[in-house]
């Protein structure tokens, strides 16, 4: 199950489409066995309003083909992958990288200026001066001897000042956000916002609510097709919202006090064995109740 679910999510995340062949169905039509295909090996053709599916040249009957897509587009059978939906951000990342490489390797600006404020030089004279100057530097690292009026100024462009690193970092974070808000921060990319204790605590909730949740719901709907109605699959989201020991115990106390959890359910959550008296609704004893305040019956 773990491997099958991983393959399903990878197909959606990387290609935007899940393809499989139904190997067995029940008499009522729900799935019992399904083999997943690599999404790059499946092709489809629209003929007379119906889709014909092929897996590496082998036609898959329409009644056995299972196709689940994300990011659907009108008039297109296959869905778009998250990468296709955000091609502009990726294009910016690649373009900035190539431009930065040309800037520092090929020289969008000259490396230095060799000027003479007293003599006017034509192009031939300038080329000869440059050739002699470069010959004195290449390989031998000897000092260059210049005549009257010459001045050499090196041009230094700092990578931070040229903002290529910021541009690339921002684009990389944008690419991480393709799969949902909060992904960039979890991966450690600096996004420019201040980080406090409160929003550190809320980061996991944001990740679950806006990024991971939609993929979990898709997987739940797919797995629910293997069950008799009205049964359905619900994945455990609390695994992404693990808290510290004190917060867990306070949550358990609230659930027990409001009678929607039993002792054994709490013990199962904490990996403890059940107790014989733990299946009944929990009622706090006198020691657990707060002391009564002064009143007519309690002077």
Q: Checking DSSP bridges between strand 65-69 and strand 58-60, what pairing results, if any?
A: unpaired
Q: How confident is the model at residue 288 (pLDDT cuts 50, 70, 90)?
A: very low
Q: Poorest-confidence range of 19-23, 80-84, 254-258, 294-298?
A: 294-298
The sheet with strand 50-55 has its strands ordered as 42-47, 50-55, 58-60
pLDDT of 146 over the 60 cut: yes
CA distance 173 to 162: 19
- Does residue 170 belong to any structural domain of this protein? no
Query: Hunting for tokens 């510290």 — which residue is that?
Result: 244
- pLDDT score, position 142: 62
What is residue 26's three-state secondary structure? coil
- Does residue 38 belong to any structural domain of this protein? yes
Q: Which residues pair with 114 in a beta bridge?
A: 152
Which residue among 40, 57, 81 closes a domain?
Answer: 81
Q: Please, is 204 exposed, middle or buried when counting C-beta atoms within 10 Å of its C-beta (0-12, 13-18, 19+)?
A: middle
Q: Are 255 and 266 in contact (CB under 8 A)?
A: yes
> Which pTM does this prediction carry?
0.59
- pLDDT score, position 89: 59
Average pLDDT score over the chain: 77
Which residue among 34, 66, 81 closes a domain?
Answer: 81
pLDDT of 163 over the 60 cut: no
Which residue among 81, 111, 131 closes a domain?
Answer: 81
Main-chain dihedrals φ then ψ at residue 267, nearest 5 degrees = -65, -35
What range does the domain containing 267 cover? 243-288
CA distance 120 to 126: 9
Given its phi and psi angles, is residue 192 left (phi above 0), alpha (psi -120 to 50 degrees) or beta?
left
Distance of CA 160 to the CA centre of its chain: 26
- Does residue 37 belong to any structural domain of this protein? yes
Tokens matching residue 250: 């306070």
- pLDDT score, position 138: 64
């Amino acid at each position: 199950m773990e491997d099958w679910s991983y393959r399903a999510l990878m197909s959606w995340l990387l290609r935007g489409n899940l393809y499989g062949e139904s190997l067995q169905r029940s008499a009522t039509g729900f799935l019992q066995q399904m083999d997943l295909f690599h999404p790059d090996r499946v092709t489809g053709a629209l003929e007379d309003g119906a889709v014909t599916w092929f897996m590496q040249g082998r036609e898959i009957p329409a009644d056995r083909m299972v196709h689940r897509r994300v990011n659907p587009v009108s008039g297109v059978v296959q869905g778009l992958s998250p990468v296709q939906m955000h091609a502009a951000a990726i294009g910016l990342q690649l373009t900035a990288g190539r431009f930065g490489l040309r800037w520092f390797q090929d020289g969008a600006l000259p490396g230095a200026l060799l000027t003479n404020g007293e003599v006017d030089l034509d192009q031939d004279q300038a080329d000869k001066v440059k050739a002699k100057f470069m010959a004195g530097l290449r390989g031998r690292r000897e000092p260059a001897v210049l005549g009257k009026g010459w001045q050499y100024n090196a041009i230094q462009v700092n990578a931070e000042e040229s903002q290529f690193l910021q541009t690339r970092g921002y684009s990389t974070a944008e690419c991480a956000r393709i799969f949902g808000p909060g992904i960039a921060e979890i991966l450690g990319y600096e996004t420019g916002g201040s980080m406090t204790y409160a929003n550190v605590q809320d980061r996991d909730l944001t990740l679950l609510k806006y990024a991971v949740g939609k993929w979990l719901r898709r997987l739940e709907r797919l797995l629910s097709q293997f069950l008799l109605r009205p049964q359905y699959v619900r994945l455990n989201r609390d695994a992404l919202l693990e808290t510290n020991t004190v917060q867990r115990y306070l949550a358990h106390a609230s659930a027990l006090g409001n009678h929607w959890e039993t002792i054994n359910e709490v013990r199962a959550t904490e990996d403890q064995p059940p107790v014989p008296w733990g299946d009944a609704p929990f009622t706090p004893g006198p020691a657990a109740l707060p002391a009564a305040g002064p009143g007519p019956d309690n002077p």
